[in-house]
A and B are shown apart, each in its own frame.
Chain A
Amino acid sequence: MAVRAGAEAPTVTGSPADRGIALDVHDLRMRYGSTDVLTGVSFTARRGEVLVLLGPNGAGKTTTIEILEGFRMRSAGRVEVLGVDPARGDERWRARLGVVLQSWRDHSRWRVRELLTHLGSFYAPYSADQIRRPWDVEELIEVVGLTEHVDKRVGQLSGGQRRRVDVAIGIVGRPEVLFLDEPTAGFDPAARREFHDLVHRLTDIDDTTILLTTHDLDEAEKLADRILILAGGRIIASGSADELSRRISVDAEVRWSRGGARFVHSTSDATAFVRELLAQHGEEIADLEVRRASLEDTYMALVHEYESGRAGSAARAFEEVAG
């Protein structure tokens, strides 16, 4: 008989989803006609991670997120969301995702509670032992801060309140992965801040993986565990805001004044420089300020570096800052 004894081949242990990877994108390409929008995007997201896709307009952020949502077919590459190819995702898969859409005037006659109860009911059959679906509507309304508006019609709400309804709809099914495409576009600073608090609350309550797009650097810095910078159809850099700053420039800027004169010095080791400065001049030093490159500096440098077609280190892009 041809039955082989001995060591069996090691069993492959499940899909990436089982290993704690929620999003797995490899060499994603998208082409409309003769225009390449995405030219090889690769990234992964662990479960519970907040990923921000940052990039200039037309960089392909929306296209990327829509492919992951299963709303758009890709041209090439491998994409897995919760271990499933979005192009072949069924309704069971769909029930594990949340998509925050920009509302406009849809459902304007619906009352907030009524709408959330209705949309939530679709998720009930997909309830699991670990995740009870849908979210209890009263609890959800409290989480998104709509308690006072629960009996109002959606059409009567302010822009910021409507956006909360959008978020509530996105998370009513207790998604394992949540997609938000430019969630704060057109927000005033107060509404933006409230929205950021809401996202933080979400990641605290559930171990939700979040992918959001923005072109607001401040937003990316506040929300992201990891930032992916998308330019010209590919990811040109990724990391936390801090890592990105360090990667692009080791120089920090030290400013001080002494005897009425102001000084600026650019250095790779700010701590050592300041120590020496104080040792040398002691109490003569005033107005001391150490400033590391902000995410904005980093971002501008990276995009500029990309657009001017230069490879390698972008340290030189900071020459004028250090000047």
Chain B
Amino acid sequence: MTPTVNPLFVAARAGLSRGRIELRQGFTNAETLWGYFFPSVILLVVMFFLRDSRVPGTDFSLGAQTLPSTLGMTVAFGGLVSMASTLVIEREDGTLLRAKATPNGMLGYLISKITMISGMTLVSVALLLVPGLFLFDGLTLSPGAWVTLVWVLLIGMVATMPIGAVLGSLLSNPRNMALVMLPVMGLIATSGIFYPITALPGWLQGLAQVFPIYWLGLGMRSALLPGAMAAVEIGESWRHLETLLVLGGWAAAGLVLAPVVLRRMARRESGSSVAARREKALQRVT
């Protein structure tokens, strides 16, 4: 008797390996490396100049307080923007259609993107965290801090990647990525990443707390900052339960919505739709 292999298992394994291969390809590609290092260096330089400023009402370094916030921002940015742009670019260039023409290829494709974006996010987080630990005083890395960091990271990725995939499916072409970038940038500005959110007007605070970026920043701060720093947060607490609920809510919404939207998007893919987009893209270039 021949052993029967589950095709879904095979596709999932192929997806994992595809994710690993594409991640590795990124490390030998100047453009991708620039994408990793440029934001990290800029952020570290900005925080370095903030290190002598104090968080209002405390004598804690504003630079040190910003570092964990930027980790949260990085997770959100990867899940929302990188996921959306990867999807919209690979839909335009026909990668997705190839996946569709392969048995269980869409499953493999999705797993590969989750693997790749997760890997990219981890690398970006490490590129901020490791130098940051040397540059700033006052950050704690106790075992408890690691546990918090890991669960915030995980639920952050689950909360943002499906939403990113939905946004990527809804965009018609990569030139429209600004429709995702601008709102995300706006949210970063209002989510207390670079300055305590309590300095913002109440209605903006309320708005920011609807979205995952604020909670990712808060979760990361709760992991890496001393307990006393909770005093400058809303409600003078790290609000772990609320963090879990809001990020869990986004995760649930994304996981329900993403398969529906992705399936609808994939159904419309065909040789002629890719050709039409290629035509349009080439017209813009010339």
Contacts and interface: CB of A to CB of B under 8 A. Distances in A.
Interface in A223-238: none
A208 to B, nearest CB: 16
B130 interface: no
Interface stretch (A105-113, A254-262, A276-284): A105-113
Contact of B104 (A66, A97, A122, A181): A122
Interface in B64-110: 90, 93-95, 97-98, 100-105, 108
B94 A104 contact: yes
Interface stretch (A123-131, A137-145, A194-202, A245-253): A123-131
Interface of A: 62-63, 65-66, 69, 71-72, 91-92, 94-95, 97, 99, 101-107, 109-110, 114, 118-119, 121-126, 169, 173, 181
B269 interface: yes
B14 A106 contact: no
Contacts of A125: 4-7, 10
A102 B271 contact: yes
Contacts, number: 92
- Does more than half of chain B's interface fall in helix, strand or loop, or is it mixed? helix
Given A105-B93, A110-B21, A110-B25, A122 B271 contact: no
A104 B14 contact: no
A118 B21 contact: yes
B275 interface: yes
B18 A118 contact: yes
B103 A66 contact: no
Q: Give the 10 A-B residue pairs with the shortest CB-CB distance, closest first.
A: A71-B270, A95-B103, A125-B7, A106-B95, A91-B103, A106-B93, A99-B101, A109-B25, A94-B103, A106-B94
Contacts of A66: 270-272
Interface in B241-277: 269-272, 274-275
Contacts of B100: 71
10 contacts: A62-B272, A91-B7, A101-B94, A102-B275, A106-B95, A110-B25, A119-B105, A121-B10, A121-B13, A169-B98
Contacts of B102: 94, 119, 122-123, 173
B278 interface: yes
Contacts of A62: 271-272
B17 A118 contact: yes
B29 interface: yes
B114 to A, nearest CB: 17
Contacts of B103: 91-92, 94-95, 122-123, 126, 173
A124 B5 contact: yes
By CB atoms of chain A within 10 A, which of B11, B25, B98, B103 has the most?
Answer: B103
Residue from the set B11, B270, B278 with the largest chain A CB neighbour count within 10 Å: B270
B14 A72 contact: no
A101 B97 contact: yes
A311 to B, nearest CB: 31
A30 to B, nearest CB: 12
Nearest to A97: B101
A246 B95 CA distance: 45
A101 B272 CA distance: 10
Interface string B198-221: 000000000000000000000000
